[in-house]
Amino acid sequence: MTFVPLTDEQINALAGELPQWSLVDGKLHRELRFADFNEAFGFMTRVALIAETMGNS
Protein backbone atom coordinates (compact mmCIF):
# COMPACT_ATOMS: atom_id res chain seq x y z
CA MET A 1 0.00 0.00 0.00
CA THR A 2 1.33 3.42 -0.95
CA PHE A 3 0.67 6.31 1.36
CA VAL A 4 0.58 9.86 0.04
CA PRO A 5 1.29 12.65 2.55
CA LEU A 6 -1.45 15.21 3.08
CA THR A 7 -0.99 18.62 1.53
CA ASP A 8 -0.74 21.69 3.76
CA GLU A 9 -4.27 22.63 2.69
CA GLN A 10 -5.62 19.21 3.68
CA ILE A 11 -3.86 19.37 7.05
CA ASN A 12 -5.26 22.84 7.75
CA ALA A 13 -8.77 21.72 6.79
CA LEU A 14 -8.57 18.66 9.06
CA ALA A 15 -7.34 20.74 11.99
CA GLY A 16 -10.59 22.70 11.83
CA GLU A 17 -12.75 19.58 11.61
CA LEU A 18 -11.18 17.37 14.29
CA PRO A 19 -12.14 18.25 17.86
CA GLN A 20 -9.28 18.27 20.38
CA TRP A 21 -6.65 18.33 17.61
CA SER A 22 -4.41 21.28 16.78
CA LEU A 23 -1.62 22.22 14.42
CA VAL A 24 1.89 22.14 15.89
CA ASP A 25 4.77 22.96 13.57
CA GLY A 26 2.57 22.18 10.57
CA LYS A 27 1.55 18.76 11.88
CA LEU A 28 -1.69 17.51 13.40
CA HIS A 29 -1.27 17.01 17.13
CA ARG A 30 -3.35 15.64 19.97
CA GLU A 31 -2.23 14.88 23.49
CA LEU A 32 -3.77 11.92 25.27
CA ARG A 33 -3.56 11.29 29.01
CA PHE A 34 -4.25 8.01 30.73
CA ALA A 35 -4.92 7.08 34.33
CA ASP A 36 -2.04 4.62 34.45
CA PHE A 37 0.40 2.54 32.43
CA ASN A 38 -2.08 -0.31 31.87
CA GLU A 39 -4.66 2.00 30.35
CA ALA A 40 -2.04 3.62 28.09
CA PHE A 41 -0.61 0.28 27.01
CA GLY A 42 -4.09 -1.08 26.25
CA PHE A 43 -4.84 1.93 24.07
CA MET A 44 -1.53 1.57 22.23
CA THR A 45 -2.22 -2.12 21.61
CA ARG A 46 -5.71 -1.45 20.20
CA VAL A 47 -4.32 1.22 17.87
CA ALA A 48 -1.54 -1.11 16.72
CA LEU A 49 -4.03 -3.86 15.87
CA ILE A 50 -6.21 -1.46 13.88
CA ALA A 51 -3.17 -0.04 12.06
CA GLU A 52 -2.02 -3.53 11.15
CA THR A 53 -5.36 -4.39 9.54
CA MET A 54 -5.31 -1.09 7.62
CA GLY A 55 -1.90 -1.93 6.21
CA ASN A 56 -3.15 -5.27 4.88
CA SER A 57 -5.90 -3.90 2.67
Q: What is the pLDDT of residue 4?
A: 86
Q: What would the pLDDT profile of 16-40 be if each residue is shown by its tens digit?
A: 899 899 889 988 899 999 999 999 9
Residue type, 22: S
- Say yes or no to pLDDT of 43 above 70: yes
Can you give the residue ranges of every domain in the chain?
8-55
Helix (H) or strand (E) holding 9: helix 8-17
Report percent pLDDT > 70 for the chain: 96
CA 1 to mean position of chain CA atoms: 18
pTM higher than 0.85: no
Whether pLDDT at 57 is above 70: no
